[in-house]
Amino acid sequence: MRRDAAVLFGQLGVDLDPDRPARGLSIADQQIVEIAKALSTDARVIVMDEPTAALSASESERLLDVARRLRDGGAAVVFVSHRLDEVFALCDRLTVMRDGATVRTCPVAGTDAGEVVRWMVGRELTDLFPKTGTTPGDVVLRVRGLTTDGVFDDVSFDVRAGEIVAFAGLVGSGRSEVVRAVFGIDRYDSGSVEVLGSPLPPADPRAALARGVALVPEDRRQQGLFMPASVARNTAVVVLSRLARRGVVRERAERELAAHWAQRLQLRHGGLDQPVERLSGGNQQKVVLAKWLATDPRLLVVDEPTRGIDVGTKAEVHRLLSEQAGRGLAVLMVSSELPEVLGMADRVLVMREGRLMATLDRGEATQERVMLAATGQASVAGEGSAA
Amino acid sequence: MNGGLRRVLAGREAPVAGALVVVLAVTTAVNPRFLSDQGRFDLLVAIAITGLMAVGQTFVLVMRHVDLSVGSVLGLSAFMAGSAVRGDTGGSLLVALLVGVVVGVVAGLVNGALVAFLRLPALVVTLGTLYVFQGVQALLTGGTRINADQLPASVVSFGVTGFLGVPWLMWVCLLAAAVGGVFLRTRRSGRDLYAVGSNPPAAELVGIPVARRTLLAYMVSGACAGGAGVLFLARFGGVDSNAGIGYELPVVAACVVGGVDIFGGSGTVLGALLGAMLLKTMGVSLSALSVPEFWQQAINGLLLLVAITADRIVLLRRERSARVEAARHRREHAGAVPDPPRDGADRAGHEGATTTEVVR
Amino acid sequence: MSRVLSWDRSVFVLLVVTVAVGAVIDPDFAGGSNLGFVLQDIGEIMLIALPMTFLIMTGEIDLSVASTAALAGCVLGWAWQASGSMAVAVLAAVGTGVVCGAVNGFLVTRLGLGSLAVTIGTLGLYRGLCYALLGDTTVADFPAGWTNLGFSSIPGTPLPYVTPLLVVLAVAFGVVLHLTRTGRWVFAVGQSVEAARFAGIPVARLKFRLFVVTGAVAGLAGIVYDLRFASARPDGALGFELAVIASVLFGGVSIFGGVGTMWGVVSAVLFLGSVRSLLQLQGVPGNALTIITGGLLLASVVIPVVAQRWSAFRERRSRVLAAATP
């Protein structure tokens, strides 16, 4: 069995020890193990559901290669993806679905990204990434020498009021881990975090909250929301103390707060008592944003704020973030979507293998420079250019 | 071979076996009669029932489920088996075993069907059937009991005799452990149980028939508990309506001490059996050491806590070292790219970043 | 299940129906003395069920409660004999419960161990300590003034003295669960521990406190138990842990956490007590009554699932039919 596994890994062009527990592997390697598992059963039809959602460009490229090889070997591959560039790079035919119904099926050769996007949203899209011109204010977040052994190493940066700073880099490069440590979800081994000039105690999200730090987490369903709970309860959960009188939560205040934010973010919902699990992904993300904006933060950290949401809501989220930054909020954004990073950020921090490789101003940041820093390989720069 | 040895020593069974040896050695040193022929025989008889149930429970626990109904199944099966061979029915040991196991399998089917097909939480289901089976047994017995003089000689002697110095009861337990252990380790469907336990949705996605495997695990657990009922009948030469009450948690405890993860995905039949042996031996050796027997429960509880704490510490260490090792591996991989030299590149890039920061 | 007939409401309706039916078919059942007997019979279960509801709502469990109650009961007897003061003894007993709960809480929240495994361990440990403390003896010389609290009723009423304690604690736990921030936190943690951490809820501290409160209330239940039987015994409250958990689950609390109501649990305990009493009066043997407990517990999980599947099936069918007839 061990030998079979090694042979499969060889076919996939990866070097993995079959005895290792899957737990410690990078997401990309776990994905490969997953595919090896499918191959081990000599599958003739392979369905890949968002296989690259958590992968970086070069890792995705490796996966696309594997998919092509499977196809050439005579297997049928169904590839479900949000990433249009991958669809155009890999697929022979595509089917667009919207609201549970098929919109169109056609050969990939006969269409282009613009047309597909129009089918997806059912309307024309104009301004996807609103540009902002802001003058940065005081330093809100100051991170120095932040280190967790084996995860990230000696990370230092500042975020100023009114500024959107983006964390770019490959998945697994330690971006999410850094922001988790800053907010206090995880412990770090050494370094310091300062908010508005005074140090933030480590591993204490409550202290971070009290100091005006908010974190919109990477995984909306697991980390951002209480899925069976209502829109109102989710919106109010972080600010309960403010809504309580002698420990008793005032329901009316809770509903007023939720209604206010629902209106402000143009939340499409079926009543404030509706469980958030019944909302669409984009509207769920709006609830998460409402929940954190309700804390009236000084620093908003957003981790993959538009992952897996529809194009229309994506634009709304971008507009909201720029607007908030325009009012003096400091925004730190982790994103794997290069166009989003380049379109939104005043400054781009690029991480690779747990280290900060470059800090690029808006003027300096181009796809090539970011990719170069993120991969450390000149040959891959320029790849991963999105639609 | 060397790797095989290392795997055995690194496994979860070795420390439990070690602890067992220490307990045996210390007790024998203090009280040489402890491991006399009779002493050893009594000890093994005491282990057999819990051991057999622990073997069955392992199947359920590795799937991230639990079977709390085993004590009630034992009581029910002991009574049904006893009734089937009682008095002038002309029944024999074989009939008793058959009836006991069938009762257990049926009980397992009920549990398994509720958990597998209705996808109900195992804890709730088997807590419910614990009470139901207990009540059924109480209704059937109506407060009566079955005594040794009502049982055929073959059943009674089965409880007190042995083969090669090992009681028959223990042979049953060992046979079940061997079959169960080989099945879980080598059979594809056995492996499936671990896959389901460590990640149920993923197991479903790779096409493992999760419901059927769940049903199987509960039938095995039921069969073992049913068999244990017959062992109970033979060992005590009878049964009353209190048989098996309160057995469920010690059985789970034995498995956990033996390294079966209560959150599923890992653990072996051998470990569970060793866990049962350790807990039971501890109890018997306390009386051999003239320590009041009531310390047994406290020590067993403590042992369980020590076992899970140690497991936890080992896991945390391993995860941490895996993390560090993975990072080093990644860095070395990155270093394989010819230009620029790894260390310098990282330094330079990093310092560049800080410089930019400071300039701003 | 529809909004109108949620599980906790169904349990309450069942309780009312049972009491009504019982009153019609058996005059003894509705009699005052039987009411008092039922309340006394369920006293300890009800007490422990209150904090257990909180624990299960957060996705944890405590199987050591019966052993904790027994240990507190033994400490009550031991401290009474040692000090000659019941006040000291009561404090020592409740303190014992607090310590037992704190040990569970420490192992679960600090060391990150699973509460099921931990409390199976402490179940044995605490029960063993009962025997270590009292051996095979019992303490039966509590002052009569105290034991009267245990088995006589409040003058002029058929209600046992434990009634006000039950009412006050049930209301207090209900208010905390449903109206306060702590209660919201309990729901949130049960629905997603991870999201709770990201929302700044002090998950570990909350759970630790819940274990401590559970231990304290179990200690209280141990005192009630001792006074009811006018003795402290190392084998007291044996097997109560599963009865408590069965009641909580039957009351509509999800074993996965995040779902449940306090009045559902209170109704469940009262309902189970009433059914047992009614059947006992009809001459059903005591041991067989466990069928009712188990059957109802199974029903509480089977019925919602079947109902949900049925309504999902109907919804799908009506949608298909609607699509077929434009």
- The answer to whether the CB atoms of C290 and B301 lie below 8 A apart is no
What number is the average pLDDT over the span C293-297?
A: 82
| Full 3-state SS string of B155-208 | HHHHHHCEECCEEHHHHHHHHHHHHHHHHHHHCHHHHHHHHHHHCHHHHHHCCC
Mean pLDDT across chain A: 82
User: Is the pLDDT confidence value at B19 over 50?
Assistant: yes
Q: Is residue C1 part of a domain?
A: no
SS3 B23: helix
- CB-based contact (8 Å) between C199 and chain B? no
Each residue's pLDDT tens digit, A177-220: 999 999 999 999 999 999 999 999 998 999 999 999 999 998 88
- The answer to whether the CB atoms of C194 and A222 lie below 8 A apart is yes
- The answer to whether the CB atoms of C258 and A209 lie below 8 A apart is no
Within 63-82 of C, beta carbons closer than 8 Å to B belong to 63
Q: How high is the pLDDT of residue B352? A: 30
Chain C: closest CA distance from residue B225 (Å):
19
If you count residue pairs, one on A and one on B, with CB atoms under 8 Å apart, how many are there? 71
- CB-based contact (8 Å) between B193 and chain C? no
Q: Is residue C313 part of a domain?
A: yes
**How would residue B348 be classed by pLDDT, with cut points 50, 70 and 90?**
very low
What number is the average pLDDT over the span A261-278?
A: 88
Rg, chain A, Cα only: 22
User: Is the pLDDT confidence value at B79 over 70?
Assistant: yes
- CB-based contact (8 Å) between C180 and chain A? yes
Q: List CB contacts (< 8 A) between C238 and chain B.
A: 246
Q: How high is the pLDDT of residue A352? A: 84
Cβ pair A290, A300 in contact under 8 A: no
For A190, the token pair is 């050494």
CA-CA distance, C211 to C100, in Å (whole number)? Answer: 9
Q: Is residue C2 part of a domain?
A: no
Q: List CB contacts (< 8 A) between C56 and chain B.
A: none
Comparing A132-146, A355-369, B222-236, B312-326, the range with the smallest average pLDDT is B312-326
What number is the average pLDDT over the span A72-98?
A: 83
Chain A: closest CA distance from residue B356 (Å):
6
CA-CA distance, C297 to A81, in Å (whole number)? Answer: 44
Within 311-350 of A, beta carbons closer than 8 Å to B belong to 347, 349
- The answer to whether the CB atoms of A226 and C195 lie below 8 A apart is yes
Q: List CB contacts (< 8 A) between B244 and chain C.
A: none
Domain A2-91 has CATH 3.40.50.720: no
Within 34-73 of B, beta carbons closer than 8 Å to C belong to 66, 68
pTM of the predicted model, to two decimals?
0.82
Q: List CB contacts (< 8 A) between A240 and chain C.
A: 181, 184-185
- Spell out the CATH class of B9-293: mainly alpha
Q: How high is the pLDDT of residue B202? A: 80
**Cβ neighbour number for residue C83 with a 10 Å cutoff:** 13
**Cβ neighbour number for residue B38 with a 10 Å cutoff:** 9
- CB-based contact (8 Å) between C249 and chain B? yes
**How would residue C3 be classed by pLDDT, with cut points 50, 70 and 90?**
very low
Cβ pair B215, B112 in contact under 8 A: yes
Cβ pair B68, B244 in contact under 8 A: no
What number is the average pLDDT over the span C226-235?
A: 89
**Cβ neighbour number for residue B327 with a 10 Å cutoff:** 19
User: Is the pLDDT confidence value at C268 over 90?
Assistant: yes
Q: List CB contacts (< 8 A) between A291 and chain C.
A: 199
- Spell out a b/e string for B108-130, using b for 16 or more CB atoms within 10 Å of the CB, else e: bebbbbbbbeeebbbbbbbbbbb
- The answer to whether the CB atoms of B125 and C298 lie below 8 A apart is yes
User: Is the pLDDT confidence value at B354 over 50?
Assistant: no
Q: List CB contacts (< 8 A) between A220 and chain C.
A: none
* Fold that domain A139-380 belongs to in CATH: Rossmann fold (3.40.50)
Q: List CB contacts (< 8 A) between C190 and chain B.
A: none
What number is the average pLDDT over the span B60-75?
A: 91
SS3 A167: strand
Report phi then psi at A53, rounded to 5.
-55, -35
Percent of chain A scoring above 90 in pLDDT: 31
What number is the average pLDDT over the span B42-60?
A: 90
- The answer to whether the CB atoms of B350 and A357 lie below 8 A apart is yes
> ∠ CA C187-C188-C193 to the nearest 5 degrees?
120
Of A24, A373, A377, the CB nearest to B326: A24
Chain C: closest CA distance from residue A347 (Å):
26
**How would residue B105 be classed by pLDDT, with cut points 50, 70 and 90?**
very high
Report phi then psi at A52, rounded to 5.
-105, 5
Q: How high is the pLDDT of residue A185? A: 92
Q: Do domains A2-91 and A139-380 have the same CATH topology?
A: yes
Chain A: closest CA distance from residue C6 (Å):
15
Within 290-329 of B, beta carbons closer than 8 Å to A belong to 319-320, 322-328
Each residue's pLDDT tens digit, B132-182: 898 888 888 877 888 777 777 777 777 777 788 778 888 988 998 888 888
**How would residue B293 be classed by pLDDT, with cut points 50, 70 and 90?**
low
- Comparing alpha-carbon positions, the chain A residue that sits nearest to B338 is A377
User: Is the pLDDT confidence value at C250 over 80?
Assistant: yes
Q: How high is the pLDDT of residue B357? A: 26
Q: How high is the pLDDT of residue B127? A: 85
User: Is the pLDDT confidence value at B259 over 70?
Assistant: yes
Cβ pair A163, A345 in contact under 8 A: no
CA-CA distance, C248 to C8, in Å (whole number)? Answer: 11
Q: How does DSSP classify residue A238?
A: G
Q: List CB contacts (< 8 A) between B138 and chain C.
A: 285, 287-288, 290
Q: How high is the pLDDT of residue B106? A: 95
User: Is the pLDDT confidence value at B215 over 70?
Assistant: yes
**How would residue A299 be classed by pLDDT, with cut points 50, 70 and 90?**
very high
- CB-based contact (8 Å) between C260 and chain B? no
- The answer to whether the CB atoms of A237 and C188 lie below 8 A apart is yes
ipTM beyond cut 0.85:
no
Q: How high is the pLDDT of residue A74? A: 84
* Range(s) of the domain holding residue C177: 7-324
**Cβ neighbour number for residue C20 with a 10 Å cutoff:** 11
CA-CA distance, C253 to B288, in Å (whole number)? Answer: 46
Most confident among A24-33, A232-241, A357-366, B184-193 (mean pLDDT): A232-241
Q: List CB contacts (< 8 A) between B356 and chain A.
A: 358-359
- CB-based contact (8 Å) between A158 and chain B? yes
* Residue C125: alpha-carbon gap to chain centroid: 21
Comparing A239-243, B113-117, B146-150, the range with the smallest average pLDDT is B146-150
What number is the average pLDDT over the span B89-110?
A: 87
CA-CA distance, C50 to C169, in Å (whole number)? Answer: 8
Q: Which residues contact B135 (CB under 8 A, 6 or more apart)?
A: C287, C288, C289, C290, C291, C292, C293, C294
- Comparing alpha-carbon positions, the chain A residue that sits nearest to C204 is A204
Number of domains in chain C: 1
- The answer to whether the CB atoms of A205 and C188 lie below 8 A apart is no
CA-CA distance, A189 to A146, in Å (whole number)? Answer: 8
For B106, the token pair is 């049926």
User: Is the pLDDT confidence value at B340 over 60?
Assistant: no
Q: How high is the pLDDT of residue B339? A: 34
**How would residue A24 be classed by pLDDT, with cut points 50, 70 and 90?**
low
B interface mutation test: which of C116, C290, C296 has the most B CBs within 10 A?
C290
| Chains in touch with A (≥3 Cβ pairs < 8 A) | B, C
What number is the average pLDDT over the span A319-323?
A: 88
Q: Is residue C14 part of a domain?
A: yes
If you count residue pairs, one on A and one on C, with CB atoms under 8 Å apart, how many are there? 65
- CB-based contact (8 Å) between B131 and chain C? yes
Surface-to-core class of residue C143, CB atoms within 10 Å of its CB (0-12 exposed, 13-18 middle, 19+ buried): exposed
- CB-based contact (8 Å) between B32 and chain C? no
CATH number of the domain encompassing residue C30: 1.10.3470
Among the residues of chain A, which ranges form H helices?
A: 2-11, 27-40, 57-72, 84-90, 113-121, 175-183, 205-210, 231-236, 240-243, 251-264, 281-293, 311-326, 338-344, 367-375
